[in-house]
Structure 1
């Protein structure tokens, strides 16, 4: 966890986190993070796991697919929602530059998911996530209420406390290059 400056608003925190993340060697951190993620998924018996397509300076969770046998899925944006597509799937480039499943790819209901691995600009020790501000995952998590919520984040972007909104849901765990941190509410 890092000692972060005290920005007061989510936009200020986003600016701080983007700048901080640009200086991190996420390509070097991702393999260690994936090893910890694989262990966590195995401990929870997660066999249906939603990942995300990393872009920019995000750590990449795709390496977990080699370490933990499971059914993996990726989200696709549709309007203001996320749709779930099993992998492998034909991919297209999103307008922001990352790859996502084609609209023609097979789709499943979010309720099939046992774990959701979430990106974020930063997370706090309580498990709250600072996203990009569009609310895709905030809305999506309500569709998969029983899934294990896992924040995938470099240790330098875990801060003591972030501002939250009433609709924000905390992660059950944070996975960094240093290991797995249980959050509130902890799961067995």
Structure 2
């Protein structure tokens, strides 16, 4: 996957020395111009193909909110056991679906604290939300660090960024605790990182 330097968005990209906060502002503006429902359907089809290729049967999704791409369409396309995370303090807990859902203080739905829970070791894939990803697989999140703390607990799983092509950039600023995804799934297909 190559970035076209003549792409209209390239001029608006923050510089390589820009802060994560500047990149977050750029990504939110860029994402607001995209047709997320249509892109989510295309991305879910590519995600299903990736999961099938790796024979994945236990998948942690995320609950999309706002203008995020929604990976839920993969559940119809790839038969597997699906899970959602729930925040507890600074950690993520893993709950099998179906589960009773409650609204998180940020507005997305998550499993109820009383929903059954499983150990993260059961997971074979983790689908990652993000404002942007880079070609190395590094993710720009919302800055709370939930996935930064969670990913080291699931080294056995495939880490899959679920992101529109327009939000994949050459390089993002990274911190020592940032970990790269193994794959990026966009509407254009799957890219190994």
Q: Same fold (TM over 0.5)?
A: yes
Provide TM-score, normalisation by structure 1. Answer: 0.95
5+ residue gaps, structure 2: 4-8
Match of 1:45 among 49, 55, 77: 55
Instruction: Please state whether the residue corresponding to 2:39 is helix, strand or coil.
Output: helix
Residue 6 in structure 1 maps to residue 14 in structure 2: yes
Between 1:48-57 and 1:1-10, the stretch displaced more is 1-10
Instruction: Please state whether the residue corresponding to 1:142 is helix, strand or coil.
Output: helix
CA contact (8 A) 2:14 2:22 kept: no
Aligned length: 183
Displacement of 1:96 in angstroms is 0.8
In structure 1, how many angstroms separate the alpha carbons of the residues matched to 2:134 and 2:99? 33
After TM superposition, what 4+ stretches of structure 1 lie above 6 angstroms from structure 2? none
Structural RMSD (CA): 0.9
CA contact (8 A) 2:86 2:95 kept: yes
CA contact (8 A) 2:39 2:187 kept: yes
Instruction: Please state whether the residue corresponding to 2:148 is helix, strand or coil.
Output: helix
Match of 1:131 among 141, 156, 171: 141
Indicate the residue corresponding to 1:33 in structure 2: 43
Provide TM-score, normalisation by structure 2. Answer: 0.93
In structure 2, how many angstroms separate the alpha carbons of the residues matched to 1:45 and 1:82? 25
In structure 2, how many angstroms separate the alpha carbons of the residues matched to 1:107 and 1:6? 40
Displacement of 1:145 in angstroms is 1.0
In structure 2, how many angstroms separate the alpha carbons of the residues matched to 1:5 and 1:27? 24
